[in-house]
Amino acid sequence: MGVYEFKTANIRGAEVSLDQYEGKVLLIVNTASKCGLTPQYSELQKLYEQYKDRGLVVLGFPCNQFGAQEPGTNEEIHTFCQLNYGVTFPLFDKIDVMGPNQHPLYGYLTQQAPFEGFDPDNERGKRLSSMLEREGRLENNDIKWNFTKFLVDRSGNVVGRFESPVEPANIVPAIEALL
């Protein structure tokens, strides 16, 4: 099994089978428009532009589960991303990435790449870790916050999980190793 076996709706509501990305390197990210990490959209777009001709595709999955930071409709999200960050990489339907309504793709991703903690040298990671520890949310493999990134190789295998505070530029060596 790999990510190619999943289907989802794109931001316009059309069903998409992820097998259309077979043979590509994927960076799958849960996103939000009103988060302190929202500027990562710009960095994700830069990665996409820099590496798309070599086979990288960034897939954005809006989610409103963390601080209600993605309250908009799909149309509002799409417009926001284009106007503010020039996003041209594929965006998908707003989904749940954890809990009882978790999209099956995210169940698979979190099973394949468990949560291993936040970088203790990253200030934002320290703050998130402290907050989530108080809430008792560090004890499982669930997505912890917006902009968690999963790297998938050309065969559809999850090869890495990068937590929210990890800047997209810091993933470049792992991406280049797969291209």
Asked if 81 is an active-site residue, the reply is no
Give the pLDDT confidence score for residue 172 in this predicted structure: 97
**Distance (Å, rounded) from C-alpha 52 to C-alpha 50?**
6
Structure tokens that stand for 119 in this block? 């970088």
Question: In terms of Cα–Cα distance, which of 67, 70, 92 is closest to 6?
Answer: 92
Burial class (CB in 10 A: 0-12, 13-18, 19+), 62: buried
Predicted confidence band of residue 173 (pLDDT cuts 50, 70, 90): very high
Q: Which residue has the tokens 């912890």?
A: 144
Q: pTM here?
A: 0.95
Sorted by sequence, the CB contacts under 8 Å of residue 67 that are 6+ apart come out as: 35
pLDDT at 1 over 80: no
Give the pLDDT confidence score for residue 65 in this predicted structure: 96
Query: What is the identity of the amino acid at 151?
Result: L
Say which of 25, 32, 35, 105 is annotated catalytic.
35
Provide the mean pLDDT of the chain: 95
pLDDT digits over 49-65, tens only? 999 999 999 999 999 99
Question: In terms of Cα–Cα distance, which of 47, 30, 21 is closest to 154?
Answer: 21
**Distance (Å, rounded) from C-alpha 132 to C-alpha 150?**
20
Beta strands in 21-148 (DSSP E): 25-31, 56-62
Strands of the sheet containing 149-152, edge to edge, are 56-62, 25-31, 149-152, 158-162
Domain boundaries, the chain: 3-178
Give the pLDDT confidence score for residue 128 in this predicted structure: 85
Instruction: Write the class of the CATH domain 3-178.
Output: alpha beta
